[in-house]
Amino acid sequence: MKSLMILAILFFANHAAAKADSFPKIGPHFSRVVEIVFENENASSVNAQADFSAVAKLGLSFTNFSAESHPSQPNYIAMIAGDTLGVLSDGSVNLKNSHLGDLLEKKNLDWRVYAESFPGNCFNGDSSGTYYRKHNPFISFLNVSQNANRCQKIVNANEFQRDLANNTLPAYSLYVPDINNDGHNTGVDYAGKWLTSNFGTLLSNPQFLADTLVIITFDESESLFGANHVYTVLFGGALREGTSNAQAVNHVSVLKLIEDEYQLGSLGAKDQSAASIQGIWK
pLDDT digits (tens, 9 = 90+) for 17-43: 334 445 689 999 999 999 999 999 999
Domain covering 33-262, topology = Alkaline Phosphatase, subunit A (3.40.720)
The chain-wide mean pLDDT, for the chain, equals 92
Q: Which residue positions in the chain have pLDDT lower than 50?
A: 1-21
User: Residue 22's pLDDT is what?
Assistant: 56
| Predicted structure pTM score | 0.92
pLDDT digits (tens, 9 = 90+) for 68-106: 999 999 999 999 999 999 999 999 999 999 999 999 999
Please answer whether residues 80 and 138 qualify as being in contact, where contact means their C-beta atoms are separated by less than 8 angstroms: yes
Burial-class residue 133 by CB neighbours within 10 Å (0-12, 13-18, 19+).
buried
CA separation for the pair 49, 62 (Å, rounded)? 16
User: Residue 24's pLDDT is what?
Assistant: 82
